[in-house]
Amino acid sequence: GWQVSMKSGSLSYILPCNRLPVQLMSQVRVYTSSGQKKDHGSEDTNGSAHEETLHKVETGRQDTTNAGQKQSSPKQPIQVKVKAVLKKREYGPKYTQNNFITGVRAINEFCLKSSDLDQLRKIKRRSPHDDTETFTVYLRSDVEAKSLEVWGSPEALARERKRRKEAEIKYRENLFRNQRLLWEYKEFFGNTKPRSSTAAMFFKGPGKVVMVAICINGLNFFFKLLAWVYTGSASMFSEAIHSLADTCNQALLALGISQSARTPDPTHPYGFTNMRYIASLISGVGIFMMGAGLSWYHGIIGLLHPHPVESLLWAYCILAGSLVSEGATLLVAINEIRRSARAKGLSFYQYVVQSRDPSTNVVLLEDAAAVLSVAVAATCMGLTSLTGNPYYDSVGSLGVGTLLGTVSAFLIYTNTEALLGRSIEPEQLQRLTELLESDPVVRAIHDVKATDMGMSKVRFKAEVDFDGRVVTRSYLEKQDIEQLLQEIQQVKTLEELEAFMLKHGENIIDTLGAEVDRLEKDLKQRNPDVRHVDLEIL
Please check whether residues 401 and 499 belong to one and the same domain.
Answer: no
66 located within any domain? no
Query: Looking at the structure, do residues 479 and 498 belong to the same domain, yes or no?
Result: yes
CA distance 232 to 226: 10
Question: Looking at 420, 436, 463, which one is the last position of a domain?
Answer: 420
pLDDT in tens, 292-336: 887 888 788 888 887 776 666 777 787 788 788 888 888 888 888
In a domain, 44, yes or no: no
pLDDT at residue 27, as a whole number: 43
Return the higher-pLDDT residue of 267 and 510. Answer: 510
| Per-residue pLDDT at 20 | 42
Q: Of 189, 220, 243, which one is at a domain's C-terminal end?
A: 189
Structural domain includes residue 295: yes
Residue 535 pLDDT: 92
293-317 burial by CB neighbour count: b if 16+ within 10 A, else e? bbbbebbeebeeeeeebeebeebbe
Q: Which residue, of 365, 393, 420, is where some domain finishes?
A: 420
Is the same domain home to 232 and 178? no
Residue 253: inside a domain, yes or no?
A: yes
Of 208 and 509, the one with more pLDDT: 509
Same domain, 154 and 265: no
By three-state DSSP, how is residue 350 classified? Answer: helix
Residue 258 falls inside a structural domain: yes
Segment among 79-93, 256-270, 351-365 with least mean pLDDT: 79-93
Residues 164 and 236 in one domain: no
Residues contacting 230, CB < 8 A, separation 6+: 310, 314, 315
* Total domains in the fold of the chain: 3
One domain, residues 238 and 323: yes
pLDDT, one tens digit per residue, over 443-476 is 999 999 998 887 778 899 999 999 999 999 999 9
If we measure between CA atoms, which residue out of 363, 114, 397 comes closest to residue 235? 397
Q: Indicate if 413 and 433 belong to the same structural domain.
A: no
232 and 367, same domain (yes or no): yes
pLDDT of residue 76: 62
Q: Is 233 exposed, middle or buried (0-12, 13-18, 19+ CB in 10 A)?
A: buried
Exposed e or buried b per residue across 192-209, where buried means at least 16 C-beta atoms within 10 angstroms of its C-beta: eeeeeeeeebbeebbbeb
Condensed to tens digits (0 to 9), the pLDDT of residues 214-265 reads 888 888 888 888 888 877 777 677 778 878 877 888 888 888 888 887 887 7
Residue 9, in any domain of the structure: no
210 and 237 co-located in one domain:
yes
Q: Report the CATH number at residue 480.
A: 3.30.70.1350
Mean per-residue pLDDT over the chain, rounded:
76
Q: What is the DSSP annotation of 444-483? A: EEEEEEEEE-SSS-EEEEEEEEE-HHHHHHHHHTTS-HHH
Q: Do 391 and 504 share a structural domain?
A: no
Range of the domain at 400: 204-420
Q: Are residues 219 and 179 in the same domain?
A: no
Asked if 338 contacts 398 with a C-beta cutoff of 8 angstroms, the reply is no
The enclosing domain of 114 has a CATH number of 3.90.530
